[in-house]
Amino acid sequence: MTQPVAIVTGASRGIGAHLADALQDNGYAVERGSRSTAPVTDPAAVRAWVENIVARHGRVDLLVNNAGVIDTEVSLAESDPDQWWATIETNVRGPYLMTHTVLPHLTPGMGRIVNINSGAAYKNYDIATAYNVSKGALARITSGLGLGPDRTALVFDLAPGVVRTDMTEAMDAHRDRTEWTAPEEVTALLLAIARGELDAWSGRMVRAGTDTVESLRARADVGLRELDRTLGLITWGDDDPLGT
């Protein structure tokens, strides 16, 4: 059998390195992206990198959009406009360009895309607003492509919880944290997605440290409603005209 091929962006350190290592240990040929390999916000660099991968391997089975940054933990009023927009560029334009470029090369019926997302996409925070906005936008990309019978591809939001990395250790929000998500909890979900065990969750968010492969399978067996684990409007009740 031909060795499956995975692309992992932002794989030089942190969560990306854990994900890439786990895939490699499980038989994948892993192409590891970094700023020096191909800046994900540069269309020409992304196109050249993906074309090189396809030329060498002839296929792409899994894309993991992991590359991401966070802006300074201050309010929008206190934020730096250049840093704010650079965060959006990396966290939204990057996955968009990678997905747009890889989609034509995904193995038909088997190729999958995993977007590394965050609970920040689903909560109202008043700091690091560019990060929060970018993760909300990423959730929209995931559901737009991966949800419903006419979906473009199998696409998943994987929230890693709070893994101990250089980025999380430097954040004020986690300064006093004593409990961290184990990297193995994140890689277990990624590998299950890659194997096709969680395809019912395409277009939706799963979270390491809270969800397990077993709990997600069990929930899928019960059935998933249209908006379960997606970013959507919460109405005021049955009489809200926007809910009809």
Catalytic positions: 131
E strand segments, the chain: 5-8, 29-32, 62-65, 112-116, 154-159, 205-207
Q: What is the DSSP string of 121-140?
A: GGS--SSSHHHHHHHHHHHH
Residues 169 and 141: their CA atoms lie apart, in Å, by 28
In three-state secondary structure terms, 28 is: coil
The percent helix, strand, coil of the chain (3-state, each to 5) is 45, 10, 40
Residue 29 near residue 5 (C-beta atoms within 8 A): yes
Residues 126 and 15: their CA atoms lie apart, in Å, by 25
